[in-house]
Amino acid sequence: MEVKRGEFLLSTAAAKLDIGVIHGYLSRSYWAKGISRELVGRSLRHSLNFGVYLGDEQVGFARVISDYTTFAYLADVFILEPYRGRGLGKWLLEMVTSHPEVSGLRRWCLLTKDAHGLYERYGFTGLAVPERWMERSG
């Protein structure tokens, strides 16, 4: 999938991904601080990846982990700081949630510390029945 919006391109092409940009951002993020480049590479191989580009430069990213039938986990969503405030995050989420491989899934989940308002625009809510959810942290 490739979609243009003005001077920006959104693509799911694996060959376009810049692991240096993705690892650089994730390794300083609050949710993946210190993650190794090897783990980032492995996560990319097992996900539906979305890159946002200005020319040849990657400026944003999101990935979906899914069975492509009933469930998806949205992860590692970011727009690099110099490109924020241009609606790229909203565009990225629109493209992710409407992608034909995952648009009709029964359930999506994600974790966020500070972007609840953004995700609520795309149908995400707090857990309806939190007592049913469990987690295992490593």
Domains of the chain, start order: 2-132 (3.40.630.30)
Q: Tell me if residue 108 falls in helix, strand or coil.
A: strand
In the numeric block, the tokens 């986990």 are attached to 73
What is the band of 2 on the pLDDT scale with cuts at 50, 70, 90?
very high
Give every CB contact of residue 58 below 8 A, 6+ residues apart in sequence: 16, 17, 18, 21, 22, 51, 52
* Mean pLDDT score across all residues of the chain: 96
In this prediction, residue 52 carries a pLDDT of 98
Q: Which one has a higher pLDDT value, 99 or 136?
A: 99
- The predicted-structure confidence for 78-91, as pLDDT tens digits, reads as follows 999 999 999 999 99
Give the model's pLDDT for residue 17: 98
pTM above 0.85, yes or no: yes
- Interval 27-73: pLDDT, tens: 999 999 999 999 999 999 999 999 999 999 999 999 999 999 999 99
